[in-house]
Amino acid sequence: MSESELEIVVDDPTAPEDDSPAVASVRIVDVAVSILLLALAVALGYDNWRTGIGWDSTGPQPGYFPFYLSVILAGASLYGLVTSYLSRQEVSETFVTRAQLRRVMAVFVPTLLFCLVTQFLGLYVASFVLIAGFMRLVGKIALWKSLLTALLFTALMFVTFDIAFDVIMPKGPLEAAFGY
């Protein structure tokens, strides 16, 4: 049996179901992203136009290069809108199903909460909670292993950044209680 004939099939018991209903089509997502990028390009273009997009005696004004980058972004967004409307293939093509979106949200929401919690509890406490939570809830790993791994990783991160390299990281009340 040659090596090219070997095939390893691994079933993922947590894989989303094949019959999950569609949440959004490719066309809807293409149009939404193009509109958001176009709005960003217009906002950036206006702001850079306001700060100056011409040349003065010292060279280009502050908004010169960013303005033209926003023009390119706007052009690409318009191209994306036109191709989305003209494409007949993407109408029925599913971008994401409900089961797939649930899996994405299982990672996105805790990560977003991590960013918010970091502002109040500091990077290290938020990292500990995120790592332990992901390992326990998503990875289905034993509680003691999750807590130990999160503690070791957070301690290693603290020693590396705060002690060895003296990098200023967001700190919370726990670090303040220990004098950092």
Amino acid residing at 6:
L
Average pLDDT over residues 57-62: 89
Q: In degrees, to the nearest 5, what angle opens at C-alpha 16 toward C-alphas 138 and 23?
A: 110
pLDDT at 92: 76
| Pairing of the two strands 94-97 and 22-25 | antiparallel
Run of H or E including 174 = helix 173-177
Is pLDDT at 14 greater than 70 in this prediction?
no
**Separation of CA 177 from chain center:** 32
**Rounded-to-5 percentages of helix, strand, coil across the chain:** 70, 10, 25
Q: For the chain, what are the domain ranges? A: 22-92, 98-177
- SS3 of 44-55: the string is HHHHHHHHCCCE
pLDDT at 98: 92
Is pLDDT at 2 greater than 60 in this prediction?
no
The whole-model pTM stands at 0.69
pLDDT digits (tens, 9 = 90+) for 158-172: 999 999 999 999 999
pLDDT digits (tens, 9 = 90+) for 91-133: 678 889 999 999 899 999 999 999 999 999 999 999 999 999 9
**Separation of CA 62 from chain center:** 29
